[in-house]
Copies of this chain bind each other. A is one copy, B any other.
Amino acid sequence: MNGAQLALQAAVDAGVDVCFANPGTTEMELVAAVDHVPGMRAVLGLFEGVVTGAADGYGRVTGGPALTLLHLGPGFANGIANLHNARRAHTPIVNLIGDHASWHVDADAPLTSDIESLARPVSRHLATVSSAARAGTTVRDAIAAASGPPSGVSTVIVPQDSAWGSAGVHDASASVAEGFDIDEDAVEQTARQLRGGGRVVLLLGGVVRRAELDAAAAIQAATGCGVWIDTFPAVLEQGAGIPRFDSLPYFPEQAIDALADVDALVAVGTSAPVAFFGYRHLGVSSLLPAGAASSVLVPGGVRAHRGLDALASALDVSAARSPAATDPAEIPGGDLDVMSMGATIAALQPEGAIVVNEAATSGLGWAIASTGAPPHETLALTGGAIGMGLPVAVGAAVAAPDRQVIALQADGSGMYTLQSLWTMARESLDVTVVICANRAYRILQMELHRTGHDDAGPQARSLTDLTSPTPDWVALAKGFGVDGMQATTIAELRAGLEQGLATEGPFLVEVLL
């Protein structure tokens, strides 16, 4: 057994058995090892941003890490943007970066660079395999650090001589995950706040599933507190019969309004809310009113229900009844626009669907209509690094082959990692891709206005415009082996969605907005 085989065997032994990969020469031992370690599945991406985004989607859906396999500093760098999103989602991921043989690094060969400097900003755990014999231990430690709680991104640099070196017998000792203990003082303090007379708000973030929502609903029913969901949660379960709370608005003016009467905010599975960007006309980062208290019951990377359950116990709160199902969405009449597109998708999406939402400005209609859809989960753009939607859909579909994945995808951000379509085709992933084609960086057009540049000139306008030429997403999909169609009417969108949902494997609908 060599170091590469030992590394993969340690992963499989820890239950980590999917590796999203875009390898190069320094990963040849790891590539060869995939077939020598029973139970490891390798999934190829044509670009590293696909690989890391897929690992993010996989980790959000399963709660456990996938491996990525990346090529030196530049290959890793191509995956940083989606690792940034994963970091903000606290998604468990273990990156394996093949590096030059240790004795070759000082030669400063063409592909040499400072990998640690590149990796540190997105990695909560960073290690180098110091010898083949240490490959198992190093990978196990990385998996433990990624799994947490708190969970997050681990990065392991594998020098090629550590991969090809003889590793002797596999050390099968179990990995030790990090522990997390509920902060009883924080529970007690929050309980006191909720029993007091002030306006207390719970802000839920990270992975927000039924366990979190039920607990929050029970606490709200008993105490009258406010409950908000982070603007961009890693996972949000929602739909008919599931307790529902509003998401904090994206634009800071609206968020500040929403929180204007808050005396105390308690972050659960997240941190106190701040503006996505700092605006000159606002001049503040915090979205809370001056003087409001802010505390963290459970930090990011730990499931919020652990704090909420403890809080419910401290308050002696019993479970709330599930809400009545709201009316299911119906396929609307009229023209095809952002609102009717969202309603049509919501009306057709099946129970258990995973909706990866990188629709940006085109997502409003679906956000409203989906509350009445059958129970499902939605995955948001947690870190603002665009290009997550299609890769995360790849990973979600690998993680949950029995569920329908719908990628609700803005056209501008979809361009960053469109190579994802190829992996969808290769792996026959059941993804229905809905491209929201407004042919613009619409959010930037809004931001030009918001920042006082209504007088923007022709070059500035051109930098936010995606016409001349207009991309043809159906042709692009065909180029990657994915069938698709354009939709200009609600009837066409309906036909496309029905075909996509019925198709084994991927299908793309480009909605002209």
Contact = CB atoms under 8 A, between A and B. Distances in A.
A422 to B, nearest CB: 7
Given A443-B25, A462-B42, A475-B476, A109 B285 contact: yes
Contact of A28 (B29, B108, B453): B453
B385 A109 contact: no
A78 B104 contact: no
Nearest to A451: B28
Contacts of A443: 25
Contacts of A475: 475-476, 478-479
Interface string A437-481: 000000110011001010111111011101011111111111111
A75 interface: yes
Interface stretch (A116-124, A171-179, A236-244): A116-124
A75 B21 CA distance: 22
A31 B113 contact: no
A472 B463 contact: no
Contacts of A416: 46-47, 78, 419
Interface stretch (A255-263, A272-280, A337-345, A390-398): A272-280
B118 A382 contact: no
A195 interface: no
A74 B84 contact: yes
Contacts of A276: 109-111
Nearest to A24: B444
Contact of A277 (B26, B274, B275, B455): B26
A136 interface: no
A415 interface: yes
B107 A286 contact: yes
Contact of A32 (B25, B28, B85, B460): B460
A481 B462 contact: no
Interface in A40-96: 40-42, 44, 46-47, 49, 72-75, 77-78, 80-81, 84-85, 88
B121 A117 contact: yes
A417 B106 CA distance: 30
A44 B463 contact: yes
A147 to B, nearest CB: 23
A389 interface: no
Nearest to A231: B110
A61 to B, nearest CB: 21
Contact of A456 (B31, B419, B466): B31
Interface residues of A, number: 104
A140 interface: no
A49 B78 contact: yes
Contact of A23 (B122, B463, B470, B481): B463
A31 B456 CA distance: 8
Nearest to A271: B108
A463 B41 CA distance: 11
Contacts of A387: 47, 78
Contacts of A471: 422, 479-481
Interface string A144-168: 0000000000000000110010000
Interface in A366-401: 382-385, 387
B34 A104 contact: no
A128 to B, nearest CB: 16
B121 A113 contact: yes
A75 to B, nearest CB: 7
Interface string A99-138: 0110110111111011001101110000000000000000
A476 B480 contact: yes
A425 interface: yes
Given A34-B457, A44-B462, A451-B28, A111 B468 contact: no
A228 interface: no
Contact of A35 (B28, B32, B277, B458): B458
A306 interface: no
26 contacts: A25-B447, A26-B277, A28-B448, A28-B451, A29-B453, A31-B448, A31-B463, A35-B458, A36-B457, A42-B462, A46-B415, A74-B81, A74-B85, A78-B416, A100-B277, A107-B278, A109-B274, A109-B276, A109-B278, A110-B232, A110-B384, A111-B385, A114-B120, A117-B120, A471-B480, A476-B480
Given A100-B278, A474-B479, 12 more contacts: A32-B448, A74-B384, A78-B416, A101-B278, A107-B274, A107-B275, A110-B232, A111-B383, A113-B121, A471-B481, A473-B479, A477-B479
